[in-house]
Structure 1
């Protein structure tokens, strides 16, 4: 789940603020209530902020923030009872159980420790009929916190909906997500494509011309105007990919950008500033605008610079001039100042940053960028992983802790000492690490599942033979790439989980940020006016480089330049979809 930046204006959504601790007055003296146990136990106290972030005819979404005003605790349990027939249907960042009207929320492994003054947040979706009153009382570790304002009372000045510019904890919760009509039309024109043509995908602003509309296509205002039409009377999130840094994609060629390594001022004044101005138009204040900020940039400054064997001269240049860090910081600052914008920073994927010597330094790099050019960590609502990549969401047939004949699966050629085997475990671990680095404890993660389904006849149903760690892992893994480092138009890939809000603890949403059917890069050199080069990793005959351990590229043939429609890939993604398409 994400969080509301501390710099945001106070919310006018449904709120229940509970007094810090129960006090008993007697003869001019007060006694502080203690948690369950004997006298002398740790003093307990709390403030609970209960917000109904969305509400519709039969359901609602809620954010709950606990602030510990008593002694530090290592675990917490929050209890309350609904006054009506509300039923929790889905929760995140806490284990939530319900018996009748009584609800219990308990911490997860990563958010149980609360020092004095520390806060943590969780959320849930629920169903109801009739009225949806805020619970009257809450208990934290057995201690009653009291003093509730019921926003359904007509004398209460609070508003049951979020006004324009007031951020919610999870922009996807209780909201529709924008369907790009340009992508939808291409998908629907494909045989069988109508099955997914109504899915929401990201809108890529990959050059300055895309702001006004490149080659006669829709510009940013066109998309936002269409989003208002799709929104109707409910809530709607729009997904934008901010992707035009100077010297973009320094370790690859297929997605090179239009700006040279030193053109930071042009990036600011001709790209970010116009986008921020449009997003700040009051006309669009009722939209939830999700920005995924500069994919494939900051991790390159960790993994593809000297003295790494995978270093490139371009990445060394971008680290030396600091323009990736400055550019990301500037974007976060400018876009984060718009009240209804939710910034998510790209955090690579487990097959890139999952190793011990990549994970920590990358988190440090994210923190550096998030505090550059006037930005603060409050400008970061969360992070996105696996953007435009193929890493499996969850490997069911083995874990990182498995051994075969005494050998750890980490020693297998596929895992190669990585700390993670899939994107879900990586995303949750990265989230915990980022919080420890100073990002808000409520940040949420997005996982791009547009092409990581790996279904079809090649999908294994069990672990491989326990002859060796390699046969065990290779026989059971869903991800059928030749190597984790392969990234371009991968053969055998399929559509993954459909976009959905709050599917797992710490995960704001599964998204299709990369529109299925759009090429990663051309199979051979193709002249173009978009600044995009030819990368041999998109050539199916290429035998590899150190970044993929000198393996074949695994790419599909006859691909167009990046971002252009690739019908053969789209058909393969549908054929290999998991969950399968009906």
Structure 2
């Protein structure tokens, strides 16, 4: 249940500000010459349980631009803040101070910054009544629509900080039925998953299946009087997936105009229908596209001619920019750009370069960084959320963990640490400090009997890492229908600092690609990385593919994989 601080009668009427020239009164529309509201604060309790809670705070500065900021408030009860993100939060008695981090001190006139925290309480978790920004009293936005209110961030004038907070998430009935039909599948068939719009025909529905409007209508039904997020995967770029074949698309490398007119424009028009204005629509934009421009082009051993073409013609950058611009114009759409995973862009050569490429795309074709609400990592991949048995700072037998064959000089060993660090990198290159990350945990649980109970032997750095790692893939570059994988953390909102949600964007049980060549009219090729007999390429260190046998085309139901994912789930299924 989400709770937002309600404005007191005094603050509803005016904001009193001590200044050199006296008291400023909150502006009322039409009153020329009356001072504007100096700042507004939205304090929201996103989750609450018997002894604890998670809250988010968004502050908007309407005074002169700032290079540093400090927000203060006091609690009426015994609340204690235990951890925080995006701000340095200290507490003395009931008084709380939240100061900027090094990366988000800039606060422009009209600009906003958000931070969050976890806390404990007993008895009543009363909401604070007064906030200050650098000593100046702010009014508090409760969405009441009064004469001093700025646009409500949950209404037509803006967006909430974390769309998943306090909201249900759409359960795709088509996926749910397939899951429930499997033995034991009813244990997870009520979980929310992404709806993949992987070709133009998917907008209206393929082979009698649900189209976009049908999903949105069903989402309204599931929503009822609650808040609800519906998750869409925007996935049809020209020359799609230039480093793979199993997920190639219908549009050729030069068909950017078709992408715009026949794919993005119709989707944007449907999402803008006022009928769907009450939904929180999360779009994850063009999986695997932009990282390919960094890692699989030029003189790199992993380069492909197809990726070189897409970098040269700019259609990945232009296509993503166009999508962000058009979809970002819809007030209740939240764009999250795909950011690969730690086993792809966690290396020094890829980390900063990827953030710069994402910034280039986010400012192409009329888009701005304001059209990007956040980023998603590990989409349709298998990288472990958290490796508990070793860290990047460990040394064994005189060698750093980074020197192990598995880590291979990467700076990150799991997806959570990577997502949090990459978020900071994205802010440093110009994305808004309020961006949040999503992590796809649909297939990264790595449970079952093969899950290590502790660190590996300290004989060598390789025995230490390989014996303790949860991720049991042969190589971190393996991506197709991985043998031994399990369901990961169940979808949940605000699970960690900087993370808006764990999501199941890739519906468990949908194949990554066929194990053998299968003729089709979906534009999908045969990728040897989906063949269990394949001995590899430079992108997976010339190792075996680790793929399951007898897999169907990508996106088609793969019963054997689904059953294995349930059997190896971590946390285990009950």
Instruction: Report the TM-score, using the length of structure 1 for normalisation.
Output: 0.86
C-alpha distance in 1, partners of 2:6/2:268? 26
Shift in Å, 1:397: 1.0
Correspondent of 1:278 among 270, 281, 284: 270
Q: Match of 2:425?
A: 433
Matches within 5 A, 1:166-565: 166-565=158-557
1:230-270, CA deviations, whole angstroms, 9 ceiling, x for partnerless residues?
Answer: 00001000000000000000000000000011111000000
Shift in Å, 1:468: 1.0
User: Does the C-alpha gap of structure 1 residues 87 and 281 become closer, same or farther in structure 2, counting only changes over 3 Å?
Assistant: farther
Shift in Å, 1:49: 1.7
Alignment check: 8 A CA contact 2:485 2:564 kept: yes
Shift in Å, 1:63: 3.1
C-alpha distance in 1, partners of 2:467/2:446? 14
Alignment check: 8 A CA contact 1:47 1:69 kept: no
1:279-299, CA deviations, whole angstroms, 9 ceiling, x for partnerless residues?
Answer: 000000000000000001011
Q: Match of 2:28?
A: none
Correspondent of 1:120 among 89, 113, 117: 113
1:93 maps to 2:86: yes
Q: Match of 2:72?
A: 78
1:467-493, CA deviations, whole angstroms, 9 ceiling, x for partnerless residues?
Answer: 111011111111000000000000000
Q: Match of 2:137?
A: 146
C-alpha distance in 1, partners of 2:415/2:379? 11
Shift in Å, 1:166: 3.4
Shift in Å, 1:527: 0.9
Correspondent of 1:163 among 155, 163, 169: 155
Alignment check: 8 A CA contact 1:12 1:163 kept: no
Alignment check: 8 A CA contact 1:14 1:161 kept: no
1:415-439, CA deviations, whole angstroms, 9 ceiling, x for partnerless residues?
Answer: 0000110111111111111111111
Shift in Å, 1:465: 1.1
Alignment check: 8 A CA contact 1:133 1:152 kept: no
Shift in Å, 1:510: 0.4
Aligned Cα RMSD in Å? 3.5
Alignment check: 8 A CA contact 1:13 1:162 kept: no
C-alpha distance in 2, partners of 1:394/1:57? 25
User: Does the C-alpha gap of structure 1 residues 276 and 549 become closer, same or farther in structure 2, counting only changes over 3 Å?
Assistant: same
User: Does the C-alpha gap of structure 1 residues 119 and 213 become closer, same or farther in structure 2, counting only changes over 3 Å?
Assistant: closer
Q: Match of 2:128?
A: 135
User: Does the C-alpha gap of structure 1 residues 49 and 270 become closer, same or farther in structure 2, counting only changes over 3 Å?
Assistant: same
User: Does the C-alpha gap of structure 1 residues 574 and 555 become closer, same or farther in structure 2, counting only changes over 3 Å?
Assistant: same
C-alpha distance in 2, partners of 1:130/1:395? 37
1:578 maps to 2:566: no
User: Does the C-alpha gap of structure 1 residues 278 and 408 become closer, same or farther in structure 2, counting only changes over 3 Å?
Assistant: same
C-alpha distance in 1, partners of 2:146/2:60? 26
Alignment check: 8 A CA contact 2:153 2:159 kept: no
User: Does the C-alpha gap of structure 1 residues 88 and 330 become closer, same or farther in structure 2, counting only changes over 3 Å?
Assistant: same
Structure 1 SS opposite 2:450? coil
Q: Which stretches in structure 2 are left out of the alignment for 5+ residues?
A: 24-37
Alignment check: 8 A CA contact 2:511 2:557 kept: yes
| The 10-residue stretch of structure 1 (468-477 or 48-57) with the greater mean CA deviation from structure 2 | 48-57
C-alpha distance in 1, partners of 2:368/2:280? 21
Alignment check: 8 A CA contact 2:493 2:501 kept: yes
| The 10-residue stretch of structure 1 (400-409 or 130-139) with the greater mean CA deviation from structure 2 | 130-139
C-alpha distance in 1, partners of 2:362/2:72? 33
User: Does the C-alpha gap of structure 1 residues 465 and 154 become closer, same or farther in structure 2, counting only changes over 3 Å?
Assistant: closer
C-alpha distance in 1, partners of 2:122/2:145? 19
Shift in Å, 1:360: 1.0
1:63 maps to 2:57: yes
Alignment check: 8 A CA contact 2:391 2:413 kept: yes
Matches within 5 A, 1:4-43: 22-23=18-19
Structure 2 SS opposite 1:328? helix
Shift in Å, 1:120: 3.2
C-alpha distance in 1, partners of 2:493/2:267? 26
Alignment check: 8 A CA contact 1:345 1:384 kept: yes
Instruction: Report the TM-score, using the length of structure 2 for normalisation.
Output: 0.87
Q: Which has the higher contact order (CA 8 A, sep 6+)?
A: 1
